[in-house]
Amino acid sequence: MSDSMINDTTVKKSREDQTAGEHGKCMLNRRQFLMYSGATAATASTVSLSLFPGTAKAAQAKARVVGYPRKLVGKLSELKDNVPLLINYPDNGKNSFATMVKTGVKCGGGVGTGRDLVAFSALCTHQGGPLVGKYKVVDEHRIMGSCPLHLSTYDVTRHGIIISGQAYESLPQVLLELDGDEIYAVGMMGLIYGRNQNLMPETTES
């Protein structure tokens, strides 16, 4: 091998060693890359917030919590088993009428010593068919329905779940509370048919 070829090989190897040394100093493994890139992203986002104040700043706001009214709807001493009473809740507006009944059997959400006093919206959840006067006793069952439109029926002992018919949502249940002999409606479970919210905005009477 000639001297010139030896010199070329030596120079080439020296350059490769130098390059490898430089790469060894700056090359990152995968873990380091992910760590540094994450830190860079975090830094960038911090800088962007500093450079553009208010662009991504969360403003503090108080949540608006609206409670249901506590409304006197009857007296326990005046109720007879399986004789329903028509009430209005949560207001006296459209679609607010409901059926309250002392079933004589334990019910989901029932109040009283026998947990048998419940109340439900008197409108079918399918198309709003009227359920007033549609409460009945069938053996051990307590049923609301059938709806005159599409024959939907509901089990009032189990939170108004659908038994049969076209409806696919449970009957909205009025939550009750007993204070001695007085019965109060205090809330709703489920959306009243025909409303986009149970608590309608207050209107000023002229």
Domain residue limits at 118:
71-189
Clarify whether residues 31 and 87 are in a common domain.
Answer: no
- What pLDDT does 183 receive? 98
Assess if residue 86 is contained within a domain.
yes
Mean predicted confidence (pLDDT) in 19-47: 47
Residues 87-122: pLDDT tens digits? 999 999 999 999 999 999 999 999 999 999 999 999
Catalytic choice (23, 141, 150, 159): 150
User: Is residue 27 one of the residues assigned to a domain?
Assistant: yes
Same domain for 44 and 85, yes or no, is no
Residue 120 lies in a domain: yes
Average pLDDT of the residues in 166-189: 96
Catalytic residue among 23, 126, 141, 159: 126
How many domains are contained in the chain? 2
User: Residue 186: pLDDT above 90?
Assistant: yes
Q: Does 76 lie in the same domain as 29?
A: no
State the burial class of residue 173 (Cβ atoms within 10 Å of its Cβ: 0-12, 13-18, 19+): buried
Query: Are both 76 and 30 inside the same structural domain?
Result: no
Angle, CA 97 vertex, CA 93 and CA 99 arms, to 5°: 165
Name which residue leads in pLDDT, 23 or 87.
87
pLDDT of residue 9 exceeding 90: no
CATH code at position 88: 2.102.10.10
How confident is the prediction for the chain on average, in pLDDT?
Answer: 80
How many CB atoms lie under 10 A from the CB of residue 54?
A: 7
Q: Is residue 206 part of a domain?
A: no
Tell me the mean pLDDT in the region 22-29.
50
3-state DSSP assignment of residue 136: strand
Q: How confident is the model at residue 43 (pLDDT cuts 50, 70, 90)?
A: very low
pLDDT for position 200: 83
Mean pLDDT of all residues in 138-142: 92
198 pLDDT band, cuts 50/70/90, is very high
Q: Tell me whether residue 145 is in a domain.
A: yes
In the chain, % of residues over pLDDT 70: 66
159 is catalytic: no
> What's the confidence (pLDDT) of residue 55?
55
Same domain, 8 and 90: no
* Claim to verify: residue 157 and residue 185 sit in the same structural domain: yes
Cα–Cα nearest to 88, from 122, 111, 127, 128: 122
Segment 136-146 mean pLDDT:
94
Instruction: Give domain status of residue 133, yes or no.
Output: yes
| Residue 126 falls in the annotated catalytic set | yes
Lowest mean pLDDT among 7-21, 108-122, 148-162: 7-21
In a domain, 65, yes or no: no
Asked if pLDDT for residue 135 goes beyond 50, the answer is yes
The whole-number pLDDT of residue 42 equals 43
Rounded Cα distance between 71 and 91, Å, is 9
**Claim to verify: residue 107 and residue 144 sit in the same structural domain:** yes
149/84 same-domain check: yes
* C-alpha to C-alpha distance for 31 and 95, rounded to whole angstroms: 62
The verdict on 37 and 95 lying in the same domain is no
84/76 Cα distance (integer angstroms): 12
Residues 182 and 143 in one domain: yes
Q: Pull the structure tokens for residue 32.
A: 């380091």
When comparing pLDDT for 23 and 109, which is higher? 109
Q: What tens digit of pLDDT does each residue of 50-76 get?
A: 444 555 555 666 655 568 999 999 999
